[in-house]
Amino acid sequence: MFPNLKNLLVSKTRVRNFKHPFKNESRCLIRGPWMEDLFPTGIVERPQRYTDAKDWNTVMSSNYDWPFPVEASSVVTCFMSAFSQGQHIMQAAEALIELGLHRELLVDHFVSLYQGFQLYVATLEVTIAEILRVIRAAERKANTTFWVGDKEDRSQSNGLLEILVQASELLFSTHLKLLHEFRAYTLVASHLSQEHLSDLFGQLQDAQLCVLRLAPLCIVDYCFHLRKNLTRDEVWDIIRKNTASEGLKHFPNFRGMRLRVLAGFVATIPRSERVMRLRHSVPVPVPVQRNLFIIACKLTYKSTFQRPLDRIMRDAEACAAR
């Protein structure tokens, strides 16, 4: 359906060893849960499907059309945020299995996991849906086709949009099924066996694999063709128009979640990189000062996502210590 994960991972040979025109941005690295597995050096390195090293370096580094390297892009920032949430959910799910060994599970535990997973999936939906919309608009504007790789491969279908649509359909069907199961488990929490919990965790791992297959297509191939064919300002214009007319469509459950999704994006950016990464994201008009907005995002994210999941882990640790 779409390329094997091994083929999507970047090569081990570093090719980006020259000076960038914007030195202060060149040290930005990709970090965080799951991202470090995909990009262990912190750099988006050139995979074999991109044969021209000079062209790759020019496109993916800071330049006058894109005044920041791809590692500082909003695409990378969004996946860093989503993966941070995903890792937190995996840890809470593991803690839930441990907790089930020692005591009867409470409805509140599954409600917390359900609500956290709901935010995670909404974050993925916002990120991927925007990428698909931008590809369609960018291909029309630049009169080109985005490929998986630097050119068309006539031996196989390697159109990026087609592959991403297929990958995202699999991803969202997997995650939507899990979302319904989480909700159903809130009704029978006290009767769930360890077998049920282990099966649930296995499904979470399968869902994680879907995300890890899709992310390199977005960070490597989407970003390369976008930066090669359009300027930052042109892309930002496209995104602003999309934001004005589009909403969360895949999941009716996500209505009213825009603030929580935005709060999650902002709150999960490492403090040392927050100013830089927000500067390279499409500006979002807010009715308060930036500092107050960031504080509100952090409080919202902590109260609606982090604290409920952390409570599961604390309960598991307390039971294990007895």
Write down the mean pLDDT value for the chain: 85
Provide the residue range defining the domain that includes 231: 5-321
Which pTM value belongs to this model?
0.87
pLDDT tens-digit map of 202-260: 999 999 999 999 999 999 999 999 999 999 999 999 988 876 444 445 444 555 688 89
Whole-number Å distance between alpha carbons of 144 and 81: 30
**Confidence class for position 264, pLDDT limits 50, 70, 90:** very high
The two tokens of residue 135 are 């590809």
Average pLDDT over residues 276-296: 86
Query: What total number of domains does the chain contain?
Result: 1
Among 26-35, 50-59, 251-260, the range scoring the smallest mean pLDDT is 251-260
**What share of the chain has pLDDT > 70, as a percent?**
85
Give me 194's structure tokens.
């360890």
Which parts of the chain fold into alpha helices (H)? 5-8, 23-26, 35-38, 53-60, 74-102, 107-142, 160-185, 194-216, 223-229, 232-245, 258-267, 274-279, 290-301, 307-321
The tens digit of pLDDT for each residue in 141-154 reads 999 999 999 988 87
Residue pLDDT, tens place only, 143-199 = 999 999 998 887 678 899 999 999 999 999 999 999 998 888 877 766 677 788 888
Tell me what pLDDT residue 256 has.
65
Q: Structure tokens of 188?
A: 């029978």
Sorted by sequence, the CB contacts under 8 Å of residue 80 that are 6+ apart come out as: 30, 31, 32, 35, 268, 269
CB 10 within 8 A of CB 221: no
